[in-house]
Amino acid sequence: MGFCDKALIRLGGTPLIEHVIRNSSNQVGQLVISANRNSEKFEYLELPLIPDIKQAYAGPLVGILSAMYWMISVGKTPDSTYLACFPADVPWFPDSLIKQLTRALETQCKRVAWSESRGQVQPLFSLWSLETLPVIEQAVANGQFGPKLIMPLIDNVLVKFKNTDHRHFLNINTKKSLQVAESFIKT
């Protein structure tokens, strides 16, 4: 996508991140934005902006770690035990995503629940127990920056989303995928 900030790419005239916010806001208690660059461009959304605390631009696991630190030090409420993740370049996902991840995590006594749809793993559509913080800290210190890479180190469950809307989990990574997404808006 030409090294642009994908969260700000417009889909149907609206930045992708606004689609994600609209579709996730009823699934969680508090939304925050993990932004390691261009944070001033997200200020209009009036949500807490969490910068990468170390090794900026090192990958999504650093963003998860940074958000956990924020939750523990600033944003934690008595019932906050999980961090839910939604990638900013995927505008559509199930309305029950977090409910389903929570159910799987709690019924199977796991510490991370992550998603799969149509045979494609979606590691950033995930729910993390705050108890995973030490494992994430160690992984980042060891140079592991992707969530998928540390799943073998954490008790986890992969939740398969079947029969979802054909738009769900469409990742806007190319101009072609943006065109496909635009066609979904027009129908």
**Residue at 128: amino acid letter:** W
Report the predicted TM-score, pTM, of the whole model to 2 decimal places. 0.92
Q: Which residue has the higher pLDDT, 75 or 96?
A: 96
Triad 175, 176, 177: Cα angle to 5°: 90
Q: What is the distance between the alpha carbons of residues 187 and 182, in angstroms, rounded to a whole number? A: 9
Per residue in 20-59, pLDDT (tens digit) is 999 999 999 889 999 877 889 999 999 999 988 866 556 8
Domains of the chain: 6-186 (3.90.550.10)
Per residue in 156-175, pLDDT (tens digit) is 999 999 988 989 999 998 89
91, 19 contact by CB (below 8 A): yes
Closest CA to 145 of 16, 72, 52, 38: 52
- Retrieve residue 13's tokens: 């005239």
Would you state the pLDDT for residue 39? 85
